[in-house]
Structures are given as C-alpha cells and as structure tokens.
Structure 1
Amino acid sequence: MAQPKRHHHIAQGIQRRFTDAEGLLHAFDKRRPERGVFATTPLNLFVEKDLYTIRRKDGSRNTDLEHWYSELEGAVTPLLDHIIESCLAGQEPGLPADAKQLWDTFFYHQQKRAPDVFVRLGLEEQFYKDLPGRMEDYEREHGPLTDEDRLHMADPAVLSRMLIRSLERKIRNTLDGQGLAPSTRFPASARGLRTEICTVRWESSTP
C-alpha cells in the first residue's frame, strides 16, 4: 500500500465543491500576505507533509491514520451529495440511522484534525507547557530517555504529531464525559451505504 506524504486536513473532495470553472480555488495565506490572493488546485491547499504520520524508531512511517481519514472521506462523499441536493431542493435530508452515524463521525473528526484548532483553543500553548512534566512521568514509568529519543522528540514535526494525538485524546475525553462522542470507527455498513446513496435517493422527512 502506498504511503501518502501530503496529508490534507480539509479533504480535496470538500474543497472541489468550491472551485471555479477551471477547477481552481482562490486563496490567501496569512503567513505570506505579500503573495496576495492566488489561484491553485485543492491539491495544494490545507495540506501538510506527514501531518498524521507516526515515525517508528526504526525510521519506518506509519500512515494508518491518513489512510483511515481517506477511507472515511470516500464513504461520506455520496452522503454529502445527498445533503446538498436535498438542501437545494428545499428538503430535509432525512438520513437513516446508519447514515447519521457516518455523518456524525465524519463531522467529529473534521472538527478536530485541523492544526489551527490547537491555537484557537489554546491547546498548543498548554501542550508545550505540560511537555516537560509528561516526559518526566514517562521516564519514571519506562526508564530514562536516550539521547536519540530526546533528539527525536525535539523534532518539530514529531512535536506537531504529538500535539495532534494530545488534542484527539482531550476532545474525546471531554465528549465521552458528556456522552456525546461518536464511534471512532464509521459504521461497518458504510460501504453499503455508499452504494445505496449513489443509486437510491432517500425521501425527505418532510411532505
């Protein structure tokens, strides 16, 4: 299985719903204001290298999370089509239970996977503040970190991925405490739903 390196935190399939006639999006990067507004494809927006990659000690890359997000995005695409078509027709989507669970799972993960969420919620600052204490806790439980381990953990890319995992746990724990967290796996019937959505449009729940 190919290991993707460019990970989109807003799926290209969603971005394509806002492109112009030439398939381009018009964007502005606050980090590079001198560039002004520019046109590019969804391939180049809302993307970071190895954002969801876990680097193993042997140097190999684990991209299971990115593959999972890609599978989830593919399963939800026809569901998005149905929701949009229903709205344009002035109708409620009228989603059955499995489709609603699929949508809830997609929406839940979409809200927490973007790097900007860390800054907006103040989690990035808190993460770096807590990091030394967490490293001490780790050493008490597992033994001293090696020089190689410390060098690895000083890598900004590694810290970024640790921050993502920390955010995922924090949000899940909060929602679990409120009884709101959806399943971390989308329904087993999602593939069947994908076919169903493509071939049979659900009737609106309104007359």
Structure 2
Amino acid sequence: MPPKNNPPRRHHFIPQMMLRHFADDDGQLWFWRREFEKGAVKKTGTKLLFAENDLYTLVDADGGKDVALETFFAKIEGIGARFIDDLADIIRAGETPKLDGGAWDFWGDFFYYHLKRTPGAIDAFAEQMDFDAKIEETFAKVQEARGKSGRDPAEPGLKERIYKNAVVMAQRMPPGQEVRKAFREFGLAVYRIIDPKKSFVVGDVPGAVARFSLPGGGMSHETMFLPLTWDIAVGHLTHSRKVEIVTVDRDQVRRMNVASTTRSKIIAGRSEALIRSLSLDVPYTGVVPR
C-alpha cells in the first residue's frame, strides 16, 4: 500500500465496492473496450477497471496536489458499500427495504455524485455547457494576469491544468436546493433479476434509460435506471416516496443491458457470453444520443 503521506494516484470513477457486486465467482470481471475487436473480451480484477490517474486531483501553480475530492468520494463510497450490501440482502430475502430520512438523503447524494463523476459524463456535460469556450476565456485572462506579474504566460500545460482544475471544482459542487427538494419527493424503484443465468452489466457512464413492460400491456416511457449489483438495478419513482420492487424478465434485462452499452466505451460483468454478445451487437450512440 502507498504510504499515508503519498495518496494513491489511481482514482476509480466506478467504485471498487460496486464493481465487486458484478464480479464472477473468482472476484474478477469480464470486460470489453470499444477499441478492442468485437467479441474480444478479457478478464481482470476490480483494481484495474474504471480508473484514471489523478482524476479528482487539483494541481496548483507550483505543482502541489489537493486530493480532497478523492477523499470525499472515498467517504461516500464507504457509506455506499454498506447501503448497497444491506439493500441487496433485504431484497434477495424477498423483503422490501424501509428507508429512514437519513437513508433517503444519502441515496439522493450518492445518485447525484455517481452519475456525474465519470469521464464520459464529464465530457458530455462539458459539451452541453460549451465548457471549452469558457476555458479559452479563462485561459486568456490568466495569461494576461501572468504577463503583468512577470510569470510566464506561455507555461507548458497551463491551459490543460486550468481545464482539469475547473472539472474537479465542478465535481465538488454539491446538489442545489432545488435538486435536493426534487430528490426528497422521489421514491425508489428496485429492478430485480430472479433468473441466476441473467445479469446486469456495468458501464463507464452509469445511468441509462429504457422502456419497461406495463402490467396491462404496452411499454412505459423511457425511465432512468442504475445497476447496483449483477441482479439489482434502481431508479426513481416519481409518484410516491416509497420503495417498489419490480421483477424483470430476460427480455427486459436485455433492453436494460443494451441501453447501458450504447452509451459506454467500456462494459464489464460476470458473464463472458453476455459481454461478448453486447460487444458484437450494440453500437455506440454517445452519452447523449444525437
């Protein structure tokens, strides 16, 4: 392990505590990246997947590093690990979880940060917000200020550092009051797989939308879901603040896995055959389909 005064540089954007819930019996995951040949799946441990060096690190003008965001995420993940373990145990026992106010609030925060902290989500958000133009404007102002102060305005890597720090600071922003209010009105839909031969996959951009079969026939509107384990995914209920269990059949599981794969450049899971099938059949449409 790295010494305490030398924090790890490798930051997981899909936490290992979640990846373990998608692993095979040997603790590893089958995975595929879009730069691989179709069907060329591989297997590895959770430590090597869905991670980048210094993803959540702020770097100051003198090269000093601030890893407060990674530390913050680590604390959330510690609580989240217990939350997911307990939720899964209750659901697999055939019972419906009862969440108190603290659990509801934590779930809202976890959902908020988890959906926006991955590189793919960051890039999609940056494109929607015209982030590059804002960085160019900031870069010009920084260059002007540095020129006046006698510092090198053409320092190598300056623009990249400004961009990186802006991304990290955006990730540190907590949910606003309107977002928190909306989350407090949502319930929790739990989508459960019963067939042990079927499973959900995890992608590098969490959260996808799919249509669900309705009891009286027909299909629902597109609904967001987030796989938490190989057999459990969750989403928001908009009509009531309660927990509702929905059993999903093999066709629904396939629709959900396809939806996760279309927006992902990396997918992983416990089934070699499933990951290979998705790599062969599902094209990339982007985080936000055009």
TM-score where L is the length of structure 1: 0.71
1:47-196 matches, within 5 Å, as 47-121=51-125, 123=127, 126-137=130-141, 144=148, 146-147=151-152, 150-155=155-160, 159-166=163-170, 169=173, 172=175, 175-177=176-178, 180=181
Match of 1:191 in 2: none
Q: Which has the higher helix share?
A: 1
Call closer, same or farther: CA 1:166–1:141 in 2, change over 3 Å: farther
Structure 1 residues 164-193: Cα deviation after superposition (integer angstroms, max 9, x where no partner): 434665x84xx54555488xxxxxxxxxxx
Report how many aligned residue pairs link the two structures.
Answer: 180
Contact 1:24-1:40 at 8 Å conserved across structures: yes
Tell me whether 32-41 or 78-87 shows the greater mean CA deviation. 32-41
Percent identity for Structure 1 against Structure 2: 24
Q: Match of 1:90, as an amino acid?
A: G
My pick for the range that moved more, 42-51 or 68-77, is 68-77
Judged with a 3 Å threshold, the aligned counterparts in structure 2 of structure 1 residues 144 and 109 are, in CA distance, closer, same or farther, namely farther
Question: CA 1:143 to 1:57, structure 2 compared with 1: closer, same or farther past 3 Å?
Answer: same
2:48 and 2:98 map into 1 onto residues whose CA distance is 35
Contact 1:8 1:47 (8 Å CA) reproduced: yes
1:7 matches 2:11: yes
Higher relative strand content = 2
- RMSD (CA atoms): 3.3
1:51 CA drift (Å) = 0.2
The structure 2 residue matched to 1:33, chosen from 32, 36, 57, is: 36
Counterpart selection for 2:24 from 16, 20, 26: 20
- Structure 1: 5+ residue stretches without partners: 183-203
Query: Amino acid of the residue matched to residue 117 of structure 2?
Result: R
The answer to whether the 8 Å contact 2:90/2:96 transfers is yes
Residues 12 and 164 of structure 1: CA distance in aligned 2, closer, same or farther (over 3 Å): same
What TM-score results when the alignment is normalised by the length of structure 2?
A: 0.53
Alpha-carbon distance, 1:138 to partner: 5.3
- 1:43 — aligned with what? 47
Distance 1:66 1:167 in 2: 10
Question: Secondary structure, in 3 states, of the residue corresponding to 1:33?
Answer: coil
Contact 1:93 1:205 in 2 (8 A): yes
Change (3 A) 1:177 1:140: farther
- After superposition, the Cα gap between the structure-2 partners of 1:13 and 1:144, relative to the gap in structure 1 and judged at 3 Å, is farther
Q: 1:17 Cα shift?
A: 0.5
Give SS of 1:147's match.
coil
Query: d(CA) in 2 for partners of 1:37 and 1:205?
Result: 36
Structure 2 CA distance for partners of 1:144 and 1:37, relative to 1, 3 Å: farther
Unaligned 5+ segments in structure 2 are: 184-241, 245-290
Rounded to whole Å, the distance in 2 between the matches of 1:168 and 1:50 is: 15
Aligned equivalents of 2:179 and 2:69: distance in 1? Answer: 25
